[in-house]
């Protein structure tokens, strides 16, 4: 786990360190649960996978996880399918960072970040596994023409095709909206 602090002048105190440790663990388990649920939903489907299977942010299961843990759970990417999943500047920075680390064949650990307004963010890369390729893989090899058409009909500006197994397809971006410290004004 790497701790980055943006705009923070004082070192984290012990209470803050404890909160950070708890939220790192919570981020790890929430993203694992969400991923398990996601892969499960995909595997349970028959031949013609509904596109909604990958709209997990709107499922009741994720809504409940968010409510219980008071955290916002988002997935985003540098090559998005749904424009409402667009990355903000911080998320874009993290995606580029993970891609650079992957190119250098370095480990890709989850990262916690404190932002300027004193909130905690959690990031973790999402890799494409074989379950994902029927909708995100190589056109005509993994994604058949019917699926490609269904995707493009609904998402005409889709950029989320052409991945290989193991590619970084995006990141989890979790945000706790409470402030854990009072940021010093610049």
Near ligand HEC by CB under 6 A: residue from 4, 5, 51, 175? 51
The CB density around residue 183, as the number of other CB atoms within 10 Å, is 17
Near ligand HEC by CB under 6 A: residue from 62, 112, 131, 137? 131
Residue 28, class by beta-carbon neighbours within 10 Å (0-12 exposed, 13-18 middle, 19+ buried)?
middle
Judge whether 183 and 7 are in contact, CB under 8 Å: yes
Near ligand HEC by CB under 6 A: residue from 22, 39, 139, 152? 39
Does position 132 interact with ligand HEC (CB under 6 A)? The reply is yes
Does position 134 interact with ligand HEC (CB under 6 A)? The reply is yes
One symbol per residue from 155 to 184: x for binding ligand HEC (CB under 6 A), - otherwise; what is it?
Answer: -----x--------xx--------------
Does position 137 interact with ligand HEC (CB under 6 A)? The reply is no
Query: Would you say 66 or 85 has its CB closer to ligand HEC?
Result: 85
Does position 95 interact with ligand HEC (CB under 6 A)? The reply is no
Does position 120 interact with ligand HEC (CB under 6 A)? The reply is no
- 97, 4, 65, 69: CA torsion to nearest 10: -170
Does position 108 interact with ligand HEC (CB under 6 A)? The reply is no
- Least Cα distance to 129 among 25, 38, 52 occurs for 38
Query: If you write DSSP's letter for every residue of 90-117 in order, what string do you get?
Result: HHHHHHHHHHHHHHTT-----EEEE-TT
- Least Cα distance to 54 among 125, 135, 123 occurs for 135
Does position 53 interact with ligand HEC (CB under 6 A)? The reply is yes
Does position 26 interact with ligand HEC (CB under 6 A)? The reply is no
């Amino acid at each position: 786990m790497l701790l980055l602090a943006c705009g923070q002048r004082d070192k984290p105190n012990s209470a803050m360190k404890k909160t950070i440790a708890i939220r790192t663990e919570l981020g790890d388990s929430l993203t694992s649960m969400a991923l398990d649920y996601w892969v499960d939903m995909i595997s349970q489907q028959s031949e013609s996978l509904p596109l909604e299977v990958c709209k997990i942010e709107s499922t009741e299961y994720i809504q409940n996880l968010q409510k219980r843990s008071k955290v916002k759970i988002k997935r985003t990417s540098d090559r998005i399918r749904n424009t409402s999943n667009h990355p903000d500047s911080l998320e874009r920075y993290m995606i580029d960072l993970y891609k650079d680390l992957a190119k250098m064949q370095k480990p890709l650990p989850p990262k916690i970040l404190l932002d300027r307004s004193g909130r905690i963010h959690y990031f973790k890369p999402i890799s494409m596994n074989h379950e994902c390729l029927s909708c995100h893989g190589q056109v005509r090899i993994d994604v058949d023409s019917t699926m490609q058409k269904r995707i493009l009909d609904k998402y005409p500006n889709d950029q989320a095709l052409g991945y290989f197994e193991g590619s970084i397809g995006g990141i989890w971006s979790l945000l706790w909206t409470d402030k854990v410290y009072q940021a010093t004004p610049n």
